[in-house]
């Protein structure tokens, strides 16, 4: 075995092999007669996915009547075998629900009829397809009651079903109890561990398996490459990579794609590209993997040009490709490319794909084009929790808090189970829109009604909500009442609220907590500095400045850029390097004059009170303002301006841009690394997000 792994010390020792050839875990041996095991099922509660299989009273009546009629009929003698062949046919064409309905007739009318291996196999397949624990329990009970000894194949299928349903405890129990195991049993179990995020355990089992089966087929390595990706240790991934080369499966398409993904997620885009270059045949999945890799590392333009290269090379574009491209467009704020991707989605026949459509909802939501987002969402035939979350977050981030709450309520009514992201979206929507009462109701309902434990982010939302209302003591009390150690997000929310409401004492406390946790983070000091400045506490402000100096923390010059005719133009604060400098400055001055008539008052609060007058003058020419002026001069009046900033928008700029959007009638989208700020006709709906 070529792989040497250093796993976490707290792990229990490796599996041992008992004299009977079965594995023992933690000293306990789980060998028992397979036919007797009914316990894995007895503890299983019915999955919600089983609802459709639950016979309705009327349906039972109908079935019983049907069976009674059949019992009185001569057909009865030949009927079960016909039923079986019908079940197998239905499973072959993926009509699992109907297959299980026929099985119900068997259960009701033919208990005692041993249907035979192939039908059991088909029935387990149907349950796997339906992810139905209750179904497999029924099939298995029928099997055991009729004296059928499940063979290895059927056992593997049941194991797979547990794994696919995420019931890893049951899967493990079954796996331990299996008298016979082959490579498929091992890799099903290991794959399940990888899917459930238990990567080190997956490696432990893999090492055990390797002693028993030296299974060097490509699909085994693919699973272990995924495990390396999950572990995040590139060295482990490299060792698996070298194993694939030694075994001669390094060129396998599946292996290559898994490797591209692994190298990219472990931080090496160069290695990922190297694997891609060496692929003998560049498949769609290969292209998708490399495009996604570039996108993951923030190389959006490169990713997009790879997509065009893929298209030009005649590779098949699939729904994965389009989903990735839409995501890239969201990051580039490129409406034009996104529209093309939307069209390609429909043209290639993936108009109903849930992931691609969710990516579109997300794209339009990020852009603040909520009508478009809603339109795509409404047309989706299938929606999952992520689709709902994207829409709710969209409404929330663009100031439509009531719509966000409404969608949340509709989601719950329709039986979709909200997760922690849903609550983050709806709570921050309540916070931004000042829906305090509703926010609290939802916060309390999280663990009570939806069994979702509030995390630090949810607390931070509530602290922000209280902070906006000026209820700073309550916000502080909430921090102290949290059942975990308060995080930086929570203190930062309190500090921001203190700055907003000029509460020096609490602000100082929050800032000190933050200094302890993030001593090198500049913005924590700046917020306190501004709080001191606005309260006229010059000595304290000077103290903060001294701390900054001592720590060598400096403000980086702000930088923003705008794309005009596919060409990006970059501006620094007070930048004079551009050839149109004169016009740009004139435009900024004009706009400033214009918006001052609409109530804009320049914020004279400066971060560095000791800079001279000339510098002060330059500092007011924020990079965003210059970029917007450039955009106003060089783009047609109907196009929205997309400004990207390398920093967080400051309060002064924020109100200025809002007013510029109003007086010029232009739509302005300002985005930073993680989120969009959207301004349209003077209404702004953005807030800080973590």
Partner DNA sequence: GTAGGGTTAG
List contacts with DNA (CB under 7 A).
118, 121, 151-153, 156-157, 160, 182-188, 191, 215, 217-220, 222-223, 226, 229, 252-258, 261, 283-286, 288-289, 292, 296, 318-320, 323-324, 327, 330, 353-356, 358-359, 362, 384-387, 389-390, 393, 419, 421-422
**Residue-wise DSSP of 647-661:** SPPPHHHHHHHHHHH
- Long-range interactions of 42-49: CB distance < 8 A, separation 24+: 43/170, 44/133, 44/134, 44/137, 44/167, 44/170, 46/133, 46/134, 47/131, 47/132, 47/133, 47/134, 47/165, 48/417, 49/130, 49/131, 49/132
Shortest distance, position 575 Cβ to DNA, whole Å: 32
Helix (H, G, I), strand (E, B) or coil at 267: coil
Q: Which long-range contacts (CB under 8 A, 24 or more apart) does 60-68 make?
A: 63/104, 63/105, 63/108, 64/108, 66/105, 67/105, 67/108, 67/109
Contacts of residue 306, Cβ cutoff 8 Å, sequence gap at least 6: 287, 290, 291, 294
Cβ(370)–Cβ(364) below 8 Å: yes
Give the residue from 175, 121, 180 showing the smallest Cα distance to 148.
Answer: 121
Q: How far is the CB of 248 from DNA (least distance, A)?
A: 13
Question: Which CB sits closer to DNA, 417 or 633?
Answer: 417
Q: Which one, 83 or 292, has the nearer CB to DNA?
A: 292
Q: List C-alpha distances in Å: 308 to 87, 276, 312, 323.
A: 46, 16, 6, 15
Residue 261 CB, nearest distance to DNA (Å)?
A: 4
CB of 389 to DNA, least distance (A): 4
Instruction: Answer yes or no: are the C-beta atoms of 527 and 495 closer than 8 Å.
Output: yes
Smallest gap from Cβ 327 to DNA, in A, equals 4
Taking the complex as a whole, the smallest distance from the CB of residue 689 to DNA amounts, in Å, to 11
Closer Cβ to DNA, 321 or 644, answer by number:
321
- Pick between residue 186 and residue 679 the one whose CB is nearest to DNA: 186
- Coil, strand or helix at 581: helix
User: How many residues appear in the chain?
Assistant: 690
> What is the spatial distance between Cα 487 and Cα 688, in angstroms, rounded to a whole number?
16
Q: Which is nearer to DNA, 291 or 660 (CB)?
A: 291
Comparing CB distances to DNA, the nearer of 311 and 508 is 311
User: What's the min distance (Å) between Cβ of 285 and DNA?
Assistant: 3
Tell the smallest beta-carbon distance from residue 221 to DNA (Å): 7
When the beta carbons of 262 and 641 are compared against DNA, the nearer one is 262
99/558 with CB nearer DNA: 99
């Amino acid at each position: 075995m070529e792989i040497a792994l250093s796993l976490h010390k707290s792990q229990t020792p490796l599996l041992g092999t008992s004299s009977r050839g079965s594995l023992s875990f933690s000293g306990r041996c789980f060998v028992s007669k397979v036919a007797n095991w009914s316990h894995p099922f007895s503890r299983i509660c019915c999955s919600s996915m089983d609802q459709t299989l639950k016979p309705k009273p009327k349906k039972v009546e109908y079935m019983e009547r049907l069976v009674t009629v059949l019992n009185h009929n001569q057909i009865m003698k030949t009927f079960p075998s016909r039923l079986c062949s019908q079940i197998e046919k239905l499973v072959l064409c993926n009509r699992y629900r109907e297959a299980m309905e026929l099985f119900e007739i068997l259960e009701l009318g033919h208990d005692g009829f041993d249907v035979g291996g192939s039908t059991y196999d088909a029935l387990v397949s149907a349950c796997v397809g339906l992810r139905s624990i209750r179904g497999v329990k029924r099939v298995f009970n029928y099997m055991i009651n009729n004296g059928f000894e499940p063979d290895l194949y059927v056992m593997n299928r049941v194991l797979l079903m547990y794994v696919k349903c995420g019931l890893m405890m049951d899967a493990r129990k079954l796996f331990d109890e299996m008298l016979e195991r082959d490579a498929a049993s091992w890799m099903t179990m290991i794959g399940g561990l990888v899917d459930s995020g238990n990567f080190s355990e997956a490696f432990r089992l893999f090492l055990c398996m390797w002693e028993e089966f030296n299974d060097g087929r490509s699909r085994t390595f693919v699973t272990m490459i995924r495990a390396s990706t999950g572990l995040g240790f590139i060295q482990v991934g490299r060792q698996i990579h070298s194993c694939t080369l030694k075994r001669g499966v390094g060129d396998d398409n599946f292996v290559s794609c898994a490797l591209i993904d692994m190298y990219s997620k472990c931080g090496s885009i160069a290695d990922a590209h190297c694997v891609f270059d060496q692929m003998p045949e560049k498949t769609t999945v290969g292209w998708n993997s490399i495009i996604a890799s570039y996108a993951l590392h923030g190389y959006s333009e490169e990713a997009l040009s790879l997509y065009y290269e893929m298209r030009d090379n005649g590779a098949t574009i699939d729904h994965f490709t389009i989903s990735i491209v839409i995501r890239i467009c969201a990051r580039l704020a490129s409406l034009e490319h996104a529209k093309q991707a939307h069209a390609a989605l429909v043209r290639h026949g993936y108009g109903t794909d849930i992931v691609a459509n969710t990516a579109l909802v997300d794209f339009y939501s990020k852009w603040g084009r909520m009508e478009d987002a809603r339109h795509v969402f409404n047309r989706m035939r299938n929606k999952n929790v992520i689709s709902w979350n994207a829409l709710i977050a969209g409404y929330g981030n663009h100031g439509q808090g009531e719509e966000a709450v409404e969608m949340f309520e509709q989601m719950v009514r329709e039986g979709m189970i909200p997760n922690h992201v849903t609550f983050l979206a709806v709570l921050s929507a309540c916070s931004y829109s000042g829906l305090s009462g509703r926010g609290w109701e939802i916060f309390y309902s999280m663990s009570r009604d939806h069994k979702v434990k509030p995390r630090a982010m949810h607390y931070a939302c509530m602290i922000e909500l209280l902070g906006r209302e000026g209820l700073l003591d309550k916000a502080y009390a909430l921090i102290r009442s949290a059942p975990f150690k308060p995080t930086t997000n929570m203190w930062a929310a309190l500090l921001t609220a203190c700055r907003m409401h000029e509460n020096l004492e609490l602000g100082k406390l929050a800032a000190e907590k933050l200094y302890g946790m993030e001593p090198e983070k500049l913005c924590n000091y700046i917020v306190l500095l501004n709080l001191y400045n606005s309260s006229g506490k010059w000595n304290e402000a000077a103290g903060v400045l001294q701390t900054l100096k001592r720590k060598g923390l400096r403000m980086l010059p702000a930088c923003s850029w705008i794309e005009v005719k596919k060409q990006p133009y970059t501006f620094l604060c007070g930048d004079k390097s551009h050839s149109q400098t004169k016009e740009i400055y004139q435009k900024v001055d004009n706009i400033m004059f214009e918006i001052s008539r609409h109530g804009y008052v320049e914020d004279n609060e400066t971060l560095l009170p000791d800079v001279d007058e000339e510098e002060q003058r330059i500092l007011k020419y924020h990079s965003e303002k210059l970029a917007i002026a450039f955009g106003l001069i060089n783009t047609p009046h109907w196009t929205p301006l997309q400004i990207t900033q390398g920093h967080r928008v400051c309060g002064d700029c924020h109100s200025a841009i809002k007013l510029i959007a109003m007086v010029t009638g232009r739509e302005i989208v300002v985005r930073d690394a993680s989120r969009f700020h959207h301004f349209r006709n003077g209404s702004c709906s953005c807030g800080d997000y973590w």
